[in-house]
Amino acid sequence: MKVHGVFLVATVFYLAYTQLVNGQRHKGCQTSCGNVTIEYPFGTSPGCYYADDPSFKLTCNDKQKLLFGDNIEVINISHSGELRVWNNVSYACYNNQGNLSDNLYYTYTLANLSLSRSNMFTLVGCNALAFLSTFGTQNYSTGCMTTCNSPSTETGDCNGTGCCRIDVSVPLDSYSFGTRSSRLENMTSVYDFYNPCTYAFLAENGTFHFDALGDLKNLRNVTEFPLVLDWSIGNQTCEQVGNTSECGVNNSICFNSNRGTGYNCKCLEGFEGNPYLPNEHGCQDINECTTNSTIHKHNCSDPSTCRNKIGGFYCKCQSGYRLDSTTMSCKRKDFEWATIFLGTTIGFLSLLLVFSCVQQRMKQRKTAEFRQKLFEQNGGGMLIQRLSGPGTSNANIQIFTEESMKEATNGYEESRILGQGGQGTVYKGILPDNSIVAIKKARLGDSSQVEQFINEVLVLSQINHRNVVKLLGCCLETEVPLLVYEFINSGTLFDHLHGSFVGPSLTWEHRLRIAVEIAGTLAYLHSSASIPIIHRDVKTANILLDENLTAKVADFGASRLIPMDKEQLTTMVQGTLGYLDPEYYNTGLLNEKSDVYSFGVVLMELLSGQKALCFERPQQSKHIVSYFASATKENRVYEVIDGKVLTDNNQREIKEVARIAVECTRLMGEERPKMKEVASELEGLRVAKDKYQSSDQYTEETEHLAGVQYHIGTRG
């Protein structure tokens, strides 16, 4: 009877042991919940998880979600000691008065699990502060802080501007943690309307990538992120538990947990399965010869030679052949020396090829680094930053390569030079599509000239006007940056007025129309552009003429954008002697009246045909402004007018234009008319002239138009 009792107990034990199926100890244990596999030592019912330890108990709810602890949803379970779960985002939202309107703070109890160091603690928000607090035998807190300059200038880097993150390094005996976010006191601003909420969360490394545009607004509507928890068996090391560990009897080994307490199990190399289950239900041999896995696949060149063995494989060659361990293929033994020679030759050639490839790669890398260095040196970073800044339209500017610029200018041949000035040299270029362009090679020597170059690109990207030279693109890969413009083929206004351009001289009709076009362009820059622009270097050398003698304003290297809330800027004085506003020269205060003065000088050149500065004139008249002022004061204005344009029919118009030129060059800026008024008055003269020519007589209406806004002559 006693023998039968022992036999019965042994039988029951054997039956219980043989029911280790589907990764669980007993046949009745649940093996999955939704799409998550449940494997021992975790389980959902008593007897199915390790030692009935609550830290290994999971719950499968009616929504087929696998839960751990206080409703923490499990994503997957790793044999190596990691439990991935979904972790909610805590947040704090504020209304437009800066008061807290909504707040969500999460605290989780982890039992015998720990936060993995594979996680990052992240804060997203403007001018915000977040804390991660853990609670255990030793309480611990950490956190980070963010600031924001402007929501439209935040970058995609989580570096403290709009987003910050820190590594998780907390006491390993923590049994719960919490996350909290808040806004810094007295930091509420207009940016908060763009970013009303701050978010704090723990997430597995690599699962969150900061996107300022979407995340600062509403975190892209994401409410949870994957979180990694470390778990282990017991609180003893592998050395302490010895052969009594929970690791399977065969084909698995024990290793100490990353938590610093307890241990975990893993299968030996060449085996796979659940290392916490014994014998045939745990780690099983991998047949590398038949498996489709890329991790455990054999490397025999001929699959028919692969032979599986416990914990590995080998390649078996037939009689008369040997295994080449380099290629894992079978070779005839008769050709061993030939094979060695061939292998050596191939190896040498392979090394030579690898060396050449590495050398070529290093050369390409150095070239790319050098081009990037030149790009930054030539203001590429500044250009990108300013084009993407607030209030700046992102123009479609083509980026040309260094090779294409060399080809277009025939190696910057001297015969291709169109002109040289203070801002650089201009070449005639021919692009692959045979279109002709003007290529400006900036003259850089210091950072201020880089600023001028980038400033010209920035200003021209804002302008869309028929009388402004069009910018097509730029090249920043060269030691000296290049700008590519539309080609204007008839020289500058300076060339036409002062004899360096071969061709017929400009008639009065041409000069009046050119004056109207220049004035209209400057009025547009001052009053109609999206951001007011002051050219700061208006002169006849910067006015190009096309084949129809249409004026094109060029060279915006010295120009400045004037913010809408300002009427003037304090800048370092810059311009061309003879055209430079004396008030700006003395005070450094730049405003639109500085361009008005320079335009007045251009107008005097158009009237007189003489240069702005001429040292052959008397001492008091070397500057054309003094020359005109004295002639006007002494009522002998016709004496300074170019004899090529003065006729009996246009004396009245010329006198009116001379008056406008004198008003534009008054010493005090407040006494000068605005460019819009000048453009209107010149256009009135032109309209009056057209009507006169069509009717062959002056009417009272025409006389009135010729004197439109004459009251500006009595200004100030």
List, as one string, the DSSP characters of 275-325: TTS-GGGS-EE--TTT---SSS----SSGGGEEEETTEEEE-PPTTEEEET
Other C-beta atoms closer than 10 Å to the C-beta of 619 total 7
Backbone region of residue 598 per phi and psi (left: phi > 0; alpha: psi in -120 to 50; beta: other values): alpha
Cis peptide before 582 (omega within 30 of 0): no
Q: Which of 174, 192, 190 is nearest to 182 (CA)?
A: 192
Kindly state the tokens that stand for 508. Answer: 């009065």
178 SS3 class: strand
Would you tell me the crossing angle of helices 380-387 and 447-461 to the nearest 10 degrees?
Answer: 30
Which residues have CB under 8 Å from 409's CB, separation 6+? 416, 427, 428, 429, 439
DSSP-assigned beta bridge partners for residue 330: 323
Three-class SS string for 508-525? HHHHHHHHHHHHHHHHHH
Q: Containing H/E element for 348? A: helix 336-377
Kindly state the tokens that stand for 470. Answer: 């069009």
Q: Which of 678, 448, 460 is nearest to 571 (CA)?
A: 448
List, as one string, the DSSP characters of 552-609: EE---TT-EE--TT-S-EE------TTTS-HHHHHH-EE-HHHHHHHHHHHHHHHHH-
DSSP-assigned beta bridge partners for residue 183: 128
With contact defined as beta carbons under 8 Å apart, do 276 and 282 qualify?
A: yes
DSSP-assigned beta bridge partners for residue 106: 179
Enzyme catalytic residues? 537
Residue labelled with tokens 């594979």: 118
With contact defined as beta carbons under 8 Å apart, do 183 and 92 qualify?
A: yes
Q: Is 574 exposed, middle or buried (0-12, 13-18, 19+ CB in 10 A)?
A: middle
Q: What distances in angstroms separate CA 363 from CA 223, 330, 376, one per listed residue? A: 47, 40, 20
Kindly state the tokens that stand for 616. Answer: 């052959």
Which residues have CB under 8 Å from 381's CB, separation 6+? 375
49 SS3 class: coil
Instruction: Name the amino acid, one letter, at 160.
Output: G
Kindly state the tokens that stand for 303. Answer: 């699959």
DSSP state at residue 139? -
Would you tell me the crossing angle of helices 651-664 and 508-523 to the nearest 10 degrees?
Answer: 30
Instruction: Name the amino acid, one letter, at 123.
Output: L
CA-CA-CA-CA torsion sign (528, 533, 537, 543): negative
User: How far apart, in whole angstroms, are the C-alpha atoms of residue 667 and residue 439?
Assistant: 37
